[in-house]
Amino acid sequence: MTGNAAVIATRGLVKRFGAVRAVDGIDLDVREGDVYGFLGANGSGKTTTVRMLLGLVLPTAGTVQLLGGPMPKAARRVLPRVGALIEGPAAYGHLSGRANLALLDAAGPGGSRRTRRARVGTVLEQVGLAGVGRRPVKAYSLGMRQRLGLAGALLRRPELLILDEPTNGLDPQGIHEIRDLLLELHRSGTTVFLSSHLLAEVEQLCSRVGVLDRGRLVLQDELARLTAPTGATVVETPDPQRVRAALDGRVLSLDGTRAVVRGADPAEVNAALVAAGVPVTGLALQRPSLEEVVLAAAGTSADRVDAGEGRARR
Amino acid sequence: MIAVELRKLFRRPRTWVTIGLLNALPVLVAVLMALTDLAPRPGEGPAFLSAVLTNGTLYPLAALAIVLPLFLPIAVSLIAGDAVAGEAQAGTLRYLLARPAGRTRLLVAKLVSVFAFVLVTVVVVAAVGYVVGRLFFEVQPVGGTALSGTSLTSADIVERTVLAIGYVAVSMLGVAAFALFFSTLTDSPLAAMLGALAVLIASSLLFTLDAASSIAPYLPTRYWLAFVDFFRDPILWRDIVRGLGLQAVYVVVLLGAAWANFTTKDVTS
């Protein structure tokens, strides 16, 4: 992965709003072909970062390189190759979805007028809104608006998708559909930068993860490496006390019907337990869940402001 | 981009409702005057209104004079105040800028569409005034009377009416510039519109105050009614020229400020 070209690269990115440092010196590294999960609690600075990537918010310090061009200077050259969904969809309520997409496409460079109708039709089909007709957007449900926002992001077949909470407002089937769509786009070569606070969503989609906590990037690594086996085996048994007797000194913890045992080879652990006559109902390599990894790295919720801390953050 | 903004403006039902409502008052006034045959005495009420009973071709000007003090500025500030702040409030501003529309381009396109609205509105008011004047009032076959008492030919009246329409449009550009500037400051279109109206109301109030006479020549509303001077014989150019110059200064300064603010601000809407 590290051999691929950098798609998003920030250096010491800082954004200060008054006395508050919303983003505090982050170095993002997203490479071609990644599905990058940008995790963080509400208020941790995700949206501000996304806005800086797109040139909407201007950094207090630091640099942003997007598809090799410096932002916001290279916006006109680079942004037509980027599709974005920023903090929820937005559209003109009195116009149809189709008219909204056509207007958005006409509002900037890189969208040929000749192919506009066809492209609008294609993306509406991709997001599952092909049959919506001339209905004005104000009559859309939240999920439909979300799909329309995604359609707008896909309109110019972008090399990079920057999506902020893309499944917000969708029902479980809708979430599944959008996940499949994103994976399909990724297979056809699109790099995806997915900002979310939904760990499950990131765990299912992403190959790389960055974790933001109070404006700082506390973690950035391959998902597979973060959730790699810990070198211990989890044993399910109706009688955990006998595990302790059979594998003395190797038991790391006992809890109900579970015992965690040192040793990265479940077969070897199983053989030892069976030899000692311990009934085993389940065996698995221990892997930390993404949730455990994130909680260990990020600490308490960013919404939470304890006494004295408000001042400390400034 | 300009075409996109014009399409957005003129495909929006609200634009036409605003223009329609703006014409309601002059039409109502015309109907009442035609029914009662009562006109304000010369020198009272809106300009030209005293003359329309005898010459309906002056009604476009009377219509402009009726809407000029309040209705026209409200309509213009509504549209201009909505230009940027409306997109911010709807959330579409971030998508336009990420498209990327380019901040300067977007502002220029908004400016052109607001100017187009001003022009269309003023022309529609004048046109409706013309139709209403023809329908409800007597039309003198040859010419009319200038405010100074000498007579004008029909060609004169047409020419001077066109000039007056142009002058009123320029006066409204000043209003549009105030509203557009405020529109880049706030994410609330309502605040931008009320800000522009507050400036105009303050200006009208200061204009009536003797203590403010030293700043009176610089008030944005000071020369608004100078379009009447096109109907003196000969045309009294002094206030008209000053009015045009003053509006030009306001427009240039405010648009410069709007540009400086909009191209450097964080878009967090």
Contact A106 B4 (CB under 8 A): yes
A58 touches chain B (CB under 8 A): yes
SS3 of residue B231 by DSSP: helix
Residue B267 lies in a domain: no
Inside any domain, residue B268: no
Contact B51, B151 (CB under 8 A): no
Whether B53 shows a pLDDT value over 70: the answer reads yes
| Mean pLDDT of all residues in B67-85 | 93
Residues 25-44 of B with CB under 8 A from A: none
Asked whether the beta carbons of A54 and A5 are under 8 A apart, the reply is no
Distances (CA, A) of A266 to A46, A232, A246: 40, 9, 15
Neighbours of A78 (CB within 10 A): 22
Interface contact flag, B266 A86, Cβ < 8 Å: no
Residue B257, H or E segment? helix B237-262
Residue B60 lies inside a defined structural domain of this protein: yes
- CB-based burial label for A267 (10 Å; 0-12, 13-18, 19+): exposed
**In the predicted structure, residue B10 carries a pLDDT above the cut 80:** yes
The model's pLDDT over B77-91, given as tens digits with 9 standing for 90+, comes to 999 999 999 999 999
The closest of B133, B129, B4 to B56, measured between CA atoms, is: B133
Backbone angles phi, psi at B218, to 5 degrees: -105, 0
Q: How many CA atoms lie within 13 A of A74 on its CB side?
A: 14
Give the length of chain A: 314
In this structure, what token pair is assigned to residue A272? 């030892």
pLDDT of residue A302: 56
Q: How far apart are CA B181 and CA A25, in angstroms?
A: 34
Chain A interface test: which of B14, B95, B264 (most A C-beta within 10 Å): B95
Count CB neighbours of A73 within 10 A: 11
In a domain, B117, yes or no: yes
B97 falls within a domain: yes
In a domain, B269, yes or no: no
Nearest CA in chain A to B86: A92
At residue B150 the predicted structure's pLDDT band, cuts being 50, 70 and 90, is low
Rounded-to-10 torsion of CA A88, A90, A93, A99: -130
pTM for the whole structure:
0.86
Q: Which amino acid is at B204?
A: S
Mean pLDDT, residues B89-96: 94
CA A75 – CA B213 distance, rounded (Å): 50
DSSP SS3 for B144? strand
Spatial distance between the Cα atoms of A48 and A69, rounded to a whole number of angstroms: 19
Domain extent at residue B181: 2-262
- Per-residue tokens: A274: 């069976």
From A81, which residue of chain B is nearest by alpha-carbon distance? Answer: B99
With vertex at residue A10, the alpha carbon angle to CA A7 and CA A16, rounded to the nearest 5 degrees, is 140
Q: Tell me the chain B residues in contact with residue A145 when contact means C-beta distances shorter than 8 Å.
A: none
Give mean pLDDT, residues B59-66. Answer: 90
Q: How far B262 CA lies from chain A's nearest CA (Å)?
A: 11
User: How far, in Å, are A95, A136, A194 from residue A90 at the CA level?
Assistant: 12, 13, 18
Query: Which fold does the domain A6-226 belong to in CATH?
Result: Rossmann fold (3.40.50)
Contact B94 A58 (CB under 8 A): no
SS (H, E, C) chain A: CCCCCEEEEEEEEEEEECCEEEEEEECCEEECCCEEEEEECCCCCHHHHHHHHCCCCCCCEEEEEECCEEECCCHHHHHHHEEEECCCCCCCCCCEHHHHHHHHHHCCCCCCCCCHHHHHHHHHHHCCCHHHCCCEHHHCCHHHHHHHHHHHHHCCCCCEEEEECCCCCCCHHHHHHHHHHHHHHHHCCCEEEEEECCHHHHHHHCCEEEEEECCEEEEEEEHHHHCCCCCEEEEECCCHHHHHHHCCCCEEEEECCEEEEECCCHHHHHHHHHHCCCCCCEEEECCCCHHHHHHHHHCCCCCCCCCCHHHHCC
Give the Å distances, CA to CA, from B191 to B81, B165, B184, B188, B198.
8, 29, 11, 5, 10
B26 occurs within a structural domain: yes
B235 occurs within a structural domain: yes
Rounded-to-integer distance, Cα A179 and Cα A173, Å:
10
Q: Are A13 and A52 in contact (CB under 8 A)?
A: yes
CATH class of A232-286: alpha beta
Considering only alpha carbons, which residue of chain B is nearest residue A57? B266
Residues of A284-300 as b/e, b for ≥16 C-beta within 10 angstroms? ebbeeebeebbeebbee
* Main-chain phi, psi angles of B126, to 5 degrees: -65, -40
> In the structure, what pLDDT confidence band is assigned to residue B58 with cuts at 50, 70 and 90?
confident
Provide the percentage of residues in chain B whose pLDDT is more than 90: 63
Cβ pair B268:A57 closer than 8 A = yes
pLDDT tens per residue across all 314 residues of chain A: 456 889 999 999 999 998 889 999 999 999 999 999 999 888 889 999 999 999 999 999 999 999 999 998 999 999 999 999 998 899 999 999 999 999 999 998 887 888 999 999 999 999 999 988 789 999 998 889 999 999 999 998 999 999 998 888 888 888 888 889 999 999 999 999 999 888 888 888 899 999 998 899 988 988 888 888 888 888 888 887 888 778 777 888 888 788 888 887 888 888 888 888 888 888 888 888 888 888 888 776 656 666 655 444 44
How many Cβ contacts (< 8 angstroms) between chains A and B? Answer: 75
The residue type found at A66 is: L
- pLDDT surpassing 90 at residue B152: no
Q: Any CB–CB contact under 8 A between A20 and chain B? A: no
Q: Do B98 and A80 touch (CB under 8 A)?
A: no
Domain boundaries of chain A, sorted by first residue = 6-226, 232-286
Count of domains forming chain B = 1
Task: Name the 3-class secondary structure at B136.
Answer: helix
The Cα B177–Cα B77 span in angstroms is: 9
pLDDT tens, position by position, B131-147 = 998 888 877 655 566 66
How far CA B177 is from CA of A229, A297, B10, B68, B201, in Å, comes to: 64, 51, 20, 17, 16
Among A93, A117, A94, A87, smallest CA distance to A105 is for A117
* Cross-chain residue pair B101–A107, CB shorter than 8 Å: yes
Q: Are B98 and A56 in contact, with CB atoms under 8 Å apart?
A: yes
